[in-house]
Amino acid sequence: MNDEKTLQAENGGSTRTIGGFVAEDYRTAEVFERHGIDFCCGGNVPLDVACRQKGIDPAVILGEIEAAKQEPMERSQNFAAWELPFLADYIVAVHHAYIKDNAGQITLYARKVAEVHGSRHPEVKEIAAIFDGVATDLAAHLREEEEVFFPAVKRADAARKAGRTPEQNDIEAISGDLVKLRREHEEVGDAIHTIRRLAGDFVVPGDACNTYTVTYRKLKEFEDDLHKHVHLENNILFLKAERELISSAS
């Protein structure tokens, strides 16, 4: 088995990007989550580089990836096979809805924890301030996607399927937003990573109240959802839009 893992690594598996593994098979996301490897905002990093940063042998990860691929896969998990309009609608219905339903509540909880526990745990004040900014920035980010980017993608995709050249305005909107949205993903990803660091990986201190405990649990849940959300966009939808819409229109 060790020889097989070594052969896989030598054949280039360790040079593939993290995002590439997860885009091909979402079951591998659990492997990267388990080892604390970012597969969304940092998904364009080669596996060997990510492993070196974590002090992990790439052959170990490759072995776990192969094991994950043996698990049953739900048809609905094959996100890479979804067409652009359906994928966009799924992101809005699932991940945009999650942010809209939870960001405000988490903001209020974080502020309350900062007021009550800030003197003994000054990090919660910084966490509250950072998350406040994340919630504000994401609200604008979601509007841009729902009102500009996704509609342009759908129109361009419909034109392509009908054998027409997409409108230049839509192609320009998609191209411009891809740069902007990727940058914003990096910024919110950095902010959430900072929150995790300040929160000590969301380990609740001994003197925490119920609100403190719930806040950390919700922040962890928010991070998990954001990882999946950004992965679907950065590693699948954005790449498909570039390949199927922008490249075909040039």
Is a pLDDT exceeding 90 seen at residue 68? Answer: no
What is the model's pLDDT at position 119?
95
Q: For the chain, which residues make up each domain, given as ranges?
A: 2-77, 82-249
Mean pLDDT confidence for 132-142: 98
Helix, strand or coil, per DSSP, at residue 210: helix
What is the model's pLDDT at position 177?
97
What is the model's pLDDT at position 25?
78
The CATH number of 2-77 is which of 3.20.170, 1.10.3210, 1.10.3910, 1.10.10?
1.10.3910
Is a pLDDT exceeding 70 seen at residue 75? Answer: no
Helix, strand or coil, per DSSP, at residue 131: helix
Predicted TM-score (pTM) above 0.75 = yes
Which amino acid is present at 109?
Y
Q: List helix spans (H) across 145-167.
A: 150-161
Which token pair is 146? 């729902």
Please give the DSSP secondary-structure letter assigned to residue 145.
Answer: I
pLDDT, greater one: 57 or 6: 57
What is the model's pLDDT at position 6?
39
> In this predicted model, what pLDDT tens digit does every residue of 203-224 receive, in sequence order?
999 999 999 999 999 999 999 9
17 phi/psi in degrees, rounded to 5: -75, 155
Residue 157's pLDDT band (boundaries 50, 70, 90)?
Answer: very high
